[in-house]
Amino acid sequence: MSEVHAEQASPAHAEVAFGFLRDLGFELVERRVTGGNSSRDGWRLLYKGPSVHVTIQFMDSQLEIHFARGDVTAEYLFIDRGLFGWRSRMGGNMFPPQKLAPIVDRFATDIRDNYGSILDGDDQVWARIKQLRERPPAKERKLP
């Protein structure tokens, strides 16, 4: 077994990067570190706001950020593509731990600067997210 990278072993960097959530009235209600020395190990943070929950986790080399309001849950990259026209230009959510810190900062900055209505639980924005979630997948177009 080998030692895990510091960014994989602790959510401390993510807590600082997403510190703005506390300023918006969110409370950190779960801070879980899986421990161990496996590349699958990692951490999870759960913030609860007045109407929206935000989960940030890094496990099995995947950085996932989920937003939930009522019965609607959507992942950061889903919202990025569906509402913001793929502004992040991120092709996926798998990162080696040694490259995680700048990605966490990038995502946190984007969310802080552009996701205010989502974090506030705006009814119209969340109705749009729900609509996108319920849309059937687009059919593939066959080439002649």
Q: Is residue 143 part of a domain?
A: no
| CB contact at 8 A, 18 and 4 | no
CB atoms within 10 A of CB 71: 7
| CB contact at 8 A, 27 and 9 | no
Q: Is residue 75 part of a domain?
A: yes
Give me the domain span that covers residue 105: 6-130
pTM summary value: 0.88
Number of structural domains, the chain?
1
Q: Amino acid letter at 53?
A: H
Q: Is residue 138 part of a domain?
A: no
- What are the residues facing 48 on neighbouring strands? 27, 53
Q: Is residue 139 part of a domain?
A: no
Q: Amino acid letter at 138?
A: A
pLDDT in tens, the chain (144 residues): 456 677 777 899 999 999 999 999 999 999 999 876 777 789 999 999 999 999 999 998 899 999 999 999 999 999 999 999 888 888 778 888 888 999 999 999 999 999 999 999 999 999 999 999 998 766 655 655
Distance separating alpha carbons of residues 136 and 78, to the nearest angstrom: 14
Q: Is residue 15 part of a domain?
A: yes
Q: Is residue 114 part of a domain?
A: yes
Q: Is residue 121 part of a domain?
A: yes
Q: Is residue 123 part of a domain?
A: yes
